[in-house]
């Protein structure tokens, strides 16, 4: 037991599976940061997109973080120092999927699709997570009563610092909070094989928020209605628009389908954040945050 820098137990297996699955479309490898507050799972794609999801310690019925032991004396770990490593996210998703599939989840919107559940906890499976820094192993033990499945995943040293896309808080940040179902509906309307570029337009006057997709055969627009039941928060003082590759922005779809609310922010440089607020149940929440660079910053 003392060899583990991290040791935790959770029953939110289906929930964790869907969080990991949502960001796995960005990259098959992830950087994991473990601290006394929880686990941050981060991915990036060609320096054009970052995605982060945080597994807070409130998701776990038992949570111990000791930090990595000193390399020289083998002493106890430093709980103030985060533990960071890389892992195959695709392999981790496959392991959790064994007992964490959405088939276990209740329907939240009338069973319209497999992503309809907005709030759920899997109570039948118990998952133990451990990290052994000496063997460089991240261990999952999933207990289903009489059967226990153990998965050991090899971890890697981080390959330099991940490209961190951040919004400039010193500039004019536009912020819109809306119900997730309207964002999901917009993506459904815009998605087509011909969609290449997504333009996001903000304005203090109508239309306040417009998504437009452009391609070789034309364009299509989705205008969000001026309804404060839809746009719950709207903080925009001047008109602007920025363009992004639609194929990259569309990677947020699984996260949006999980969410109850979505927060959309951009700064004056066009850096965009799409943050999905996901309800776990029992008053607990977590977030999946995607960050994007505009097209003019990619060339």
> Within this chain, do residues 37 and 95 fall inside the same structural domain, yes or no?
yes
**Is residue 165 situated within a structural domain?**
no
The pLDDT score that the predictor gives to residue 100 is 54
Q: Across residues 46-64, what is the average pLDDT? A: 92
The pLDDT score that the predictor gives to residue 77 is 56
> pLDDT tens digit string along 152-185?
999 999 876 677 898 887 667 899 999 999 999 9
**240: preceding bond cis by omega (within 30 degrees):** no
> Within this chain, do residues 49 and 107 fall inside the same structural domain, yes or no?
yes
Q: How many domains does the chain have?
A: 2
* 41 DSSP β-pair partners: 32, 53
pLDDT of 118 higher than 80? no
> Within this chain, do residues 192 and 57 fall inside the same structural domain, yes or no?
no
> Within this chain, do residues 233 and 133 fall inside the same structural domain, yes or no?
no
Are the CB atoms for 37 and 56 separated by under 8 Å? yes
| Domain-terminating residue out of 126, 154, 182 | 154
pLDDT of 109 higher than 80? no
> pLDDT tens digit string along 251-286?
999 999 999 999 999 998 999 999 999 988 777 889
The pLDDT score that the predictor gives to residue 126 is 86
Nearest to 96 by CA among 139, 56, 53, 157: 139
| Domain-terminating residue out of 154, 188, 223 | 154
The pLDDT score that the predictor gives to residue 146 is 76
**Is residue 163 situated within a structural domain?**
no
> pLDDT tens digit string along 128-143?
999 999 999 999 998 8
Confidence of residue 122 (pLDDT cuts 50, 70, 90): very low
> Within this chain, do residues 191 and 150 fall inside the same structural domain, yes or no?
no
pLDDT of 79 higher than 70? no
| Domain-terminating residue out of 154, 188, 203 | 154
> Within this chain, do residues 18 and 143 fall inside the same structural domain, yes or no?
yes
* 119 DSSP β-pair partners: 279
Nearest to 139 by CA among 32, 24, 244: 32
pLDDT of 74 higher than 60? no
**Is residue 119 situated within a structural domain?**
yes
The dihedral sign for the CA sequence 74, 77, 83, 88: positive
The pLDDT score that the predictor gives to residue 80 is 66
> Within this chain, do residues 14 and 121 fall inside the same structural domain, yes or no?
yes
> Within this chain, do residues 114 and 19 fall inside the same structural domain, yes or no?
yes
> Within this chain, do residues 294 and 250 fall inside the same structural domain, yes or no?
yes
> Within this chain, do residues 149 and 11 fall inside the same structural domain, yes or no?
yes
Q: How far apart are CA 249 and CA 187, in angstroms?
A: 10
Q: What is the share, in percent, of the chain residues with pLDDT greater than 90? A: 60
What's the pTM value of the predicted model, to 2 decimals? 0.85
> Within this chain, do residues 254 and 212 fall inside the same structural domain, yes or no?
yes
Are the CB atoms for 152 and 137 separated by under 8 Å? yes
Confidence of residue 78 (pLDDT cuts 50, 70, 90): low
CA distances from 119 to 61, 73, 218, 269 (A): 18, 46, 38, 35
The CATH code of the domain that includes 36 is 3.70.10.10
Domain range for residue 205? 174-298
The β-bridge relationship of strands 147-154 and 38-45 is: unpaired
**Is residue 169 situated within a structural domain?**
no
**Is residue 160 situated within a structural domain?**
no
**Is residue 61 situated within a structural domain?**
yes
> Within this chain, do residues 149 and 87 fall inside the same structural domain, yes or no?
yes
Are the CB atoms for 211 and 190 separated by under 8 Å? yes
CA distances from 77 to 80, 137, 152 (A): 9, 17, 22
């Amino acid at each position: 037991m003392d060899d583990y820098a991290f040791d935790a137990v959770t029953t939110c297996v289906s929930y964790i599976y869907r969080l990991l699955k949502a960001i796995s479309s960005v990259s098959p490898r992830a950087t994991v940061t473990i601290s006394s507050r929880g686990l941050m799972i981060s991915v990036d794609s060609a320096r054009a997109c970052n995605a982060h999801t945080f597994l807070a310690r409130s998701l776990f019925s038992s949570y111990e973080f000791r930090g990595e032991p000193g390399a020289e004396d083998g002493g106890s770990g430093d709980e103030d120092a985060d533990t960071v490593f890389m892992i195959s996210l695709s392999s981790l998703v496959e392991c959790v999927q064994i007992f964490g599939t959405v088939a276990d989840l209740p329907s939240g919107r009338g069973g319209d699709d497999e992503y309809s559940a907005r709030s759920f906890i899997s109570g039948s499976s118990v998952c133990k997570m451990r990290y052994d820094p000496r063997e460089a192993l991240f261990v999952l033990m999933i207990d289903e009563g009489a059967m226990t499945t153990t998965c050991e995943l090899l971890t890697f040293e981080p390959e330099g610092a991940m490209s961190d896309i951040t919004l400039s808080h010193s500039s004019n940040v536009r912020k819109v909070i809306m119900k997730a179902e309207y964002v999901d509906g917009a993506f459904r309307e815009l998605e087509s094989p011909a969609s290449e570029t997504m333009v996001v337009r903000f304005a203090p006057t109508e239309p306040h928020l417009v998504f437009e997709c452009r391609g070789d055969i034309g364009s299509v627009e989705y205008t969000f209605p001026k309804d404060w039941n839809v746009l719950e928060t709207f903080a925009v003082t001047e008109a602007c628009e920025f363009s992004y590759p639609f194929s990259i922005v569309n990677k947020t779809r699984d996260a949006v389908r999980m969410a109850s609310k979505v927060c959309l922010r951009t700064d004056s440089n066009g850096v965009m954040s799409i943050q999905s607020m996901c309800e776990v149940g029992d008053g607990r929440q977590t977030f999946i945050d995607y960050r994007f660079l505009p097209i003019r910053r990619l060339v």
